Structure 1
Amino acid sequence: MELLLLSNSTQHGHGYLEHALGVVTGFVPSGGTLVFVPYALDDHDAYTATVRAALEPSGITVRGVHEAGDPVGALTGADAVFVGGGNSFRLLRALYATGLRDALGGAVRGGLRYMGASAGTNMACPTLRTTNDMPIVEPPSFAALGLLPFQINPHYLDPAPGGTHMGETREQRLTEFLECNDVPVLGLREGTWLRVSGSRAELGGALPARLLRRGQEPAELPAGSDVSVLLSASPAFDS
């Protein structure tokens, strides 16, 4: 499989996808067709227009899966699919409702390149249990696409130095997840991504990632790290 999983699509001081445009255009080469899945936001047309404006100047044709009335059929003939960010619960519910949850998994395993950002990156995991989002709707299941055998936490945040906020930190919340589920969690900070090509997985971006495992101290993994070992994880979820 070929996967590009971004922590975020918008970065402070940059336009949409601008911070990762080099890796995106390398993943979806000029002249290619990218099918966009906009269901994580409410206005599908406006969201698709944003992606077009960001990528079509690089020679990438963008089609929204919702535009032809057949979301599953829209995958046919595409070079890549991009599942955009927003609310992970709304996105997953729509994937089930449209038939894309099963169709995407089969197409990507069959060679369709998959790019995700934020909620779209969550969808590549076994479940959405490590999302940061509020459950504004209820999908039929928490089971996502399962393209990876481990979990990702996009937008991973470190505690603010000297901060007085008494709520749980992101690390504490993910530790709670690990108390119930024996599955590695890769925290991707803003401006970073995971690139998977076949049996190889590598971190990209300017910042390190945070890897959390049950019973182990969290580890900092610098950009460029080979994390292919995670592709052989054997997840155990609490049902």
Structure 2
Amino acid sequence: MELLLLSNSTNHGRAYLEHALDTVTAFVGAGAALAFVPYALADHDAYTRVVREALEPRGITVRGVHASGLDGADAVFVGGGNSFRLLRDLYRTGLRDELRDAVRGGLRYMGASAGTNMACPTLRTTNDMPIVQPPSFDALGFVPFQINPHYIDPRPGDTHMGETREQRLAEFLECNDVPVLGLREGTWLRVSDDAATLGGPLDARLFRRAEPPRELPAGADVSFLLTAPAAFDA
């Protein structure tokens, strides 16, 4: 499988996908037809226009799957927004099973934020509020580990009394024995068959049960995660 999993689609002070535009263009391919999945936001047409305006100057044709499906697409992009709404609509439309078959059959998959969550076995490491209830937490399962997009480090001296992201992921690991890759803003994971590499300017953070968090340097080969065994609490 060919996957490009972005932590985020918009970096502070930059246009949509601008921070990763060269990587995205190389992955999708100039002149390619891209099917965009807008289900994580409510206005599908408006969301598709945003993606079209970002990518068509690079020679990429963008069509919304809500209008055109996957037929004729060279790649698919699942956009960010609310992960629970996205997964619900993947089930509701039948696109979840269609995507799983198409990507495993060679269709290139790009996700950002919620779309990156969908590439994991479940959506259990999303940051989103459950505004709707999907029929299952089971996502697409293109990688055998979990990802936490938009990973934010604990801030020394912060007076906010809520849980840090690190604490929430520790709670996840108390109930699920599966690695979690924290992708900081502006970074991504590139998977090509049995190889996985970190992209972007910042390190990633790896969480495992009963181990301290581990920093993984930008550009690191993390292919070992593709064979990581996973045990989820029922």
TM-score grouping bracket, smaller chain normalisation? over 0.9
Within the candidate set 164, 170, 173, 2:159 is matched to 164
- The amino acid of 2:217's aligned partner reads P
Give the Å deviation of 1:234.
Answer: 1.2
Q: Which residue of 2 aligns with 1:8?
A: 8
> Residue 71 of structure 1 aligns with which residue?
none
Q: Which residue is 2:18 aligned to?
A: 18
**Alignment partner, residue 107 of structure 1:** 102
- Distance of 1:29 and 1:90 partners within structure 2: 29
Distance of 1:161 and 1:116 partners within structure 2 = 31
Name the counterpart of 2:229.
234
Instruction: State the match for 1:188 in structure 2.
Output: 183
Aligned to 1:155, the other structure's residue is in SS state strand
Q: Distance in 2 between matches of 1:99 and 1:175?
A: 33
2:73 is the alignment partner of 1:78: yes
Q: Which whole-Å CA distance do the structure 2 matches of 1:90 and 1:37 have between them?
A: 12
Question: 2:140 aligns to what?
Answer: 145
Instruction: Write the distance in 1 (CA, Å) between the matches of 2:160 and 2:226.
Output: 35
Q: Distance in 1 between matches of 2:154 and 2:229?
A: 30
Give the share of equivalent positions with the same residue, in percent.
Answer: 79
Calculate the TM-score normalised by the size of structure 1. Answer: 0.97
- Measure how far apart 1:67 and its partner are: 1.5
Partner of 1:59: 59
Task: Output the CA distance in 2 between the equivalents of 1:229 and 1:100.
Answer: 29
Matched length: 234
How far apart, CA to CA, are the structure 1 residues paired with 2:207 and 2:220? 15
User: Partner residue of 2:129?
Assistant: 134
Q: Deviations over 1:10-30 (max 9, x none)?
A: 111110000000100000111
The aligned residue for residue 37 of structure 2 is: 37
1-side partners of 2:180 and 2:89: how far apart? 25
SS at match of 2:127: coil
Distance 1:82 1:195 in 2: 14
Alpha-carbon offset, residue 159 of structure 1: 1.6
Worse-superposed segment, 153-162 or 107-116:
153-162
Cα-to-partner distance string for 1:69-122 (whole Å, 9 max, x where unaligned): xxxxx2122110000000000000000000011110110000000000000000
In structure 2, what residue type is equivalent to 1:203? L
Match of 2:170 in 1: 175
- Matched residue of 2:66: which SS? coil
CA RMSD of aligned residues (A): 0.6
Structure 1: runs of 5+ lacking an equivalent:
69-73
* In 2: Cα distance, 1:220 partner to 1:168 partner: 21
154-163 or 136-145: which moved more? Answer: 154-163
CA shift digits 1:14-53 (9 cap, x unpaired): 1000000010000011100000000000000000000000
User: Which amino acid in the other structure matches residue 111 of structure 1?
Assistant: G
| 1:166-190 Cα shifts (integer Å, max 9, x gaps) | 1110000000000000000000000
Work out the CA distance in 2 between the residues paired with 1:205 and 1:113. 20
In 1: Cα distance, 2:51 partner to 2:207 partner? 32
**2:111 is paired with a residue of what secondary structure?**
strand
Structure 1 runs of 4+ with >6 Å offset: none
AA aligned opposite 2:151: Y
Task: Give the C-alpha shift of residue 160 in structure 1.
Answer: 2.1
